[in-house]
Amino acid sequence: MTAYDDLMAHARETEALAQVAGRLGWDQETVMPRGAAAQRGEESAAMEGVLHARRTDPRIGEWLEAAEATDKVAAANLREIRRAFERSNKVPAKLAAEIARVTSVAQGIWAQARADEDVAAFLPTLQRVVALRQEEGQALAQGGDVYDALLDDYEPGAKASELDAMFGALRPRLVALRAAILDRPQPTPLSGSFDEAAQLALSRELAGVFGYDFARGRIDKAVHPFCSGSGNDVRVTTRTDPADPFNCLYSTIHEVGHASYEQNVEPDYLLTPIGRGVSMGVHESQSRIYENQLARSPAFAEWLLGRMRDVFGDIGIDDPATFARAVNRVSNGYIRTEADEVQYNLHVMMRYDLERALMSGDLAVDDLEAAWNDRFAADFGFAVDKPSNGCLQDVHWSVGLMGYFPTYSLGNVYAGCLHAALRADRPGLDAELAQGDLSGATAWLRDKVQRHGALMDPRETIRAACGFEPSEAPLLDYLEAKFAALYDL
Amino acid sequence: MTAYDDLMAHARETEALAQVAGRLGWDQETVMPRGAAAQRGEESAAMEGVLHARRTDPRIGEWLEAAEATDKVAAANLREIRRAFERSNKVPAKLAAEIARVTSVAQGIWAQARADEDVAAFLPTLQRVVALRQEEGQALAQGGDVYDALLDDYEPGAKASELDAMFGALRPRLVALRAAILDRPQPTPLSGSFDEAAQLALSRELAGVFGYDFARGRIDKAVHPFCSGSGNDVRVTTRTDPADPFNCLYSTIHEVGHASYEQNVEPDYLLTPIGRGVSMGVHESQSRIYENQLARSPAFAEWLLGRMRDVFGDIGIDDPATFARAVNRVSNGYIRTEADEVQYNLHVMMRYDLERALMSGDLAVDDLEAAWNDRFAADFGFAVDKPSNGCLQDVHWSVGLMGYFPTYSLGNVYAGCLHAALRADRPGLDAELAQGDLSGATAWLRDKVQRHGALMDPRETIRAACGFEPSEAPLLDYLEAKFAALYDL
């Protein structure tokens, strides 16, 4: 056994345990009895304790010193192991445990405050979470930029300065595009009756169409759609809304994008440090290209219209152009997760600016609601009506995920790049999509992105897939062209 | 922090991790995608590694030396911790890992051999399992009786010599009772149509009637009925047979007996070493008294007849006496898990004798099938027709559970004792059962047995509940009286 072999054997067990811990999360959101919550807290904390002890095992430091990378795969595994080891060792165990403890309680307090429309009830908890994450960020940054240090957990190597530039490039063209679209008449909405079982059956069919492997996964209902697990056990959840079948169908396709990235990593990488998606941004690029560039394309919408009429009968729309506008409806709304492709990134950039100000101390937690409401009115042109439509809408800050939000926009930008490269490689894509045939597009993404897992760093993953340097231009060009055609701008 | 506090904090985390490992088993049998099996093997092995390392942590030895028991609860926790620590340290880690590895594969080989009716395909594997368990038994026995050492895992403190006496007392009266019953006409069977969803709905209703707390558990379908978990997350599985609704209903009640023991342990004991059933025998006493002495009583059967007619319509029987005989049918059969109350223990004692002979070396693995078939013909009066009805019917030996079988009969004997004590305490029990009111009986069992968890040793648990020394007599007296009345013997 070489030092590298020892390191990988240890890492493999750690990855297996991380899968177990992740599945506890799936269980909690789908099948756990409601009375089990407190006991589950102890179980999850015990698993986190085991994982933290393994990740800070001093033998890792010794093995890392002695280990040599003989190829690109080994180098990538060593990079990932070193990153996790250094990160774990920078954060005192007591602080890590306190963050785990506080955030697990904070999520419940946030949910109650949101249900009660009571921002004040959440603020003391948020104050504590912000302070703990500031402390953690300082420990991680070691004198460098605190926000960059937090961001690195979700998007290794990304810097706030790059994100500033990204949002700066996105903002004016998205604002102009929105104004042009909102100037046009709103599209015809769906009408009809959308049986829940039929929604779920169609969503499963779509999952299969987009390449989800049901032999190595399952789809269940949950309050929030999510994807959980890696390799051969990758589970998806979805939800249904009796009035809006798009909610179930497009949520499922979105999560299948995430799931495909995890299911399609090279089998040899399974349970190794590179055997999973490399970053939140690249992950989101897969879910967004599945959901938007592919499933909201007019070509695919034409096929979907036929399937929906087969399944639901009269849905109030029978021509493809009207239906394509319905799946690409742009309208005023408060909620990020329900936002259209044009406005989604405007929601994200607002959260990004606010969380940076919170973490730097420029914005006091007590002033968050006012700052949110002012910024929302300025960016969206109408006032927030209640906290659940405002600063209490997202779970992220309650669980300490400061630094996560911008990866959504990064994912959209990467999806735009991948889409441009895919179109260049497959000029007949629209003809395939119009037949409900996703096999070519998903095979391309599997080959170019998904199979590599974390072999390359995030930006290199996208650059290698596209053959060009990632930028905001392809996303913006795509959005402007698509919506100009749809809305006759 | 005293040494006792340190010990308990460590034990509590270990118990929490054991719950997680147990839930992986539930997941595997109910919801796991079929393609996840190999990955799950690695995940489970990693969890076992974590648990083994914790259970052999040398600090436990130091804490045990320094810890003092200040009350009965502390003494019981120390007893359980000491037992687990000494057991883990007697078995070399390499042997424990090899047993885990071999038995996890052996179960699949057994299942295939059973499906193929091919004993020879299973024997080399069984040979290996027997040899490994002999080696483990010798390590545990340290010069004492090997079978007693194995038995101790499932029934702490029990001895083969006591089991010999128990089976010796059961055998002649059970054989005589069976002969008398089989001399009478077979009862009228059910007929009608038994919709699966209706079976499951009624089984859930029965679970509630018997006190199962759905807020801290759930019931799912699986290939085999089982109960999994402790405390506030105790899950049950059941199965359905379109021709035989009793299969689903009585399996569910049986598992609810197990589940109630785990759900009803004192909340203060949760995630401590005494916060679970004390032994397999006491566990089985709860499942069997729920299933047999309570749910197969003529009084309860009368209520159940009404519910079944409400749910299924015409079931081919409409008078209580005929229905009571139907739920207490005694007939020739090969399969232990389908055996009636009278013959069940005859199945168990046969396995007990065979596994003792296997473990002592008196019976060679190659001779097992012949020995099984000879013994079955002698004990049951007809020949085994195929291996799946013979020596391949049970999973136990494939997974190395030698020493487990006799705890089933011990559980039946304990159920007989508890039933006698319950009847003495609640003279109006039959009137309650005839109303489908189990609240008094289940409260009695909760108070007398379940809430104590592993506070007392197994035999003391039953003795304290009954107020008399456990023996076979109450079970035999009950069976003779019940079947004499039912079959007019």
Contacts of B33 in chain A (CB under 8 A): 214-218, 232-233, 235
Q: How far apart are alpha carbons A156 and A153 in whole angstroms?
A: 6
CB-CB neighbours of B353 under 10 Å? 18
Looking at residue A184, its pLDDT comes to 96
Reported as a single tens digit per residue, the pLDDT across A242-298 is 999 999 999 999 999 999 999 999 999 999 999 999 999 999 999 999 999 999 999
Question: A6: which residues sit within 8 A by CB, 6+ positions away?
Answer: A59, A63
Residue B202 CB contacts under 8 Å (≥ 6 apart), including other chains:
B245, B249, B307, B308, B311
The DSSP letter of residue A155 is S
Which residue out of A28, A31, A218, A269 would a mutagenesis test of the B interface target, given it has the greatest number of B Cβ atoms within 10 Å? A31
- Distances, alpha carbon B403 to alpha carbons A287, B150, B411, in Å: 52, 5, 14
What is the edge-to-edge ordering of all strands in the sheet holding B235-238?
B219-221, B235-238, B227-228
Q: Residues 6 or more apart from A126 whose CB is under 8 A from it? A: A106, A110, A365, A368, A397, A398
B343 is written with which tokens? 């013959």
For residues A289 and A419, is the Cβ–Cβ distance under 8 A?
yes
- Rounded to whole angstroms, the Cα distance separating B413 from B143 reads 30
pLDDT tens figures, B59-73 = 999 999 999 999 999
Domain B157-489, CATH among 3.30.540.10, 1.10.260.40, 1.10.3470.10, 1.10.1370.30: 1.10.1370.30
DSSP string, B5-66: HHHHHHHHHHHHHHHHHHHHHHHHHHT--GGGHHHHHHHHHHHHHHHHHHHT-HHHHHHHHH
Distance CA A418, CA B222 (A): 43
Local confidence band at B104 (pLDDT 50, 70, 90 cut-offs): confident
Q: What mean pLDDT comes out for the span A414-433?
A: 98
Q: pLDDT, tens digit, for every residue of A309-341?
A: 999 999 999 999 999 999 999 999 999 999 999
- How many Å apart are CA B64 and CA B334, to the nearest integer? 48
Q: In chain A, what are the helix, strand and coil shares in percent, each to the nearest 5?
A: 70, 0, 30
Run of H or E residues at B220: strand B219-221
Residue contacts between A and B (CB atoms, under 8 Å): 98
Residues of B in contact with A13 (CB under 8 A): 46, 49
Which ranges in A56-159 belong to alpha helices (H)? Answer: 58-66, 72-90, 93-116, 119-141, 146-154
Give the integer Cα–Cα distance in Å for A66 and A7.
Answer: 10
Prediction ipTM score: 0.92
Residue among A43, A46, A232 whose CB faces B39 most closely = A232
Closest CA to A41 of B72, B20, B161: B20
Phi, psi for B303 (deg, rounded to 5): -70, -40
Place of tokens 């085999």: B224
Q: Is A116 exposed, middle or buried (0-12, 13-18, 19+ CB in 10 A)?
A: middle
Q: Quick check: A278 and A457 in contact, CB under 8 A?
A: yes
B417 neighbors B471 (Cβ within 8 angstroms): yes
- What is the 3-state composition of chain B as percent helix, strand, coil, each rounded to the nearest 5? 70, 0, 30
**HSE of B268, CA atoms in CB hemisphere, 13 A:** 6
**Spatial separation of the C-alpha atoms in residues A315 and A249, rounded to whole Å:** 15
β-pairing verdict for B219-221 and B235-238:
parallel
- Tell if the CB–CB gap between A232 and B35 is shorter than 8 Å: yes
Residue B108 has pLDDT above 90, yes or no: no
- pLDDT of the residue at A100: 84
Q: Is A291 a catalytic residue?
A: no
Radius of gyration of chain A from its Cα atoms, rounded to whole angstroms = 22
Least Cα separation, residue B257 to chain A (angstroms):
18
* Mean pLDDT for all residues in chain B: 96
Instruction: Name the nearest CA neighbour of B270 among B77, B86, B439, B78.
Output: B77
Work out the average pLDDT over A95-103: 87
Q: Does residue B97 surpass a pLDDT of 90? A: no
Interatomic CA distance for residues A43 and A138, integer angstroms? 29
Using a 10 angstrom Cβ sphere, with 0-12 exposed, 13-18 middle and 19 or more buried, the burial of residue B427 is: exposed
Rg of chain B in Å (alpha carbons) = 22
* CATH 1.10.1370.30 is right for the domain spanning A158-489: yes
Chain B positions touching chain A (beta carbons under 8 Å): 12-13, 16-17, 19-20, 23-24, 27, 31-36, 38-40, 42-43, 45-47, 49-50, 213-218, 231-233, 235, 270-271
DSSP A70: -
First vs last C-alpha separation in chain B:
65
Mean pLDDT of chain A: 96
Which helix H or strand E contains B307, and what residues bound it? helix B298-312
Question: Rounded to an integer, what distance in angstroms lies between the CA atom of residue A263 and that of residue A232?
Answer: 6
Give me the sheet containing A227-228, strands edge to edge: A219-221, A235-238, A227-228
pLDDT (mean) for A297-311: 98
Closest partner CB to B23 (pick from A27, A215, A271) = A27
A80-95 burial code (b ≥16 CB/10 A, e <16): bbbbbbebbeebeeee
Q: Which pLDDT belongs to residue B38?
A: 86
Cβ A46–B17 below 8 Å, yes or no?
A: yes
Alpha helices in B211-276 (DSSP H): 245-263
Report the gap between the CA of B16 and the closest CA in chain A (Å). 5
pLDDT-based confidence at B101, cuts 50/70/90?
confident
| CB-closest option in A34, A43, A47 to B215 | A34
Dump pLDDT digits (tens) for A363-378: 999 999 999 999 999 9
Instruction: Kindly list the domain boundaries of chain A, sorted by start residue.
Output: 3-154, 158-489
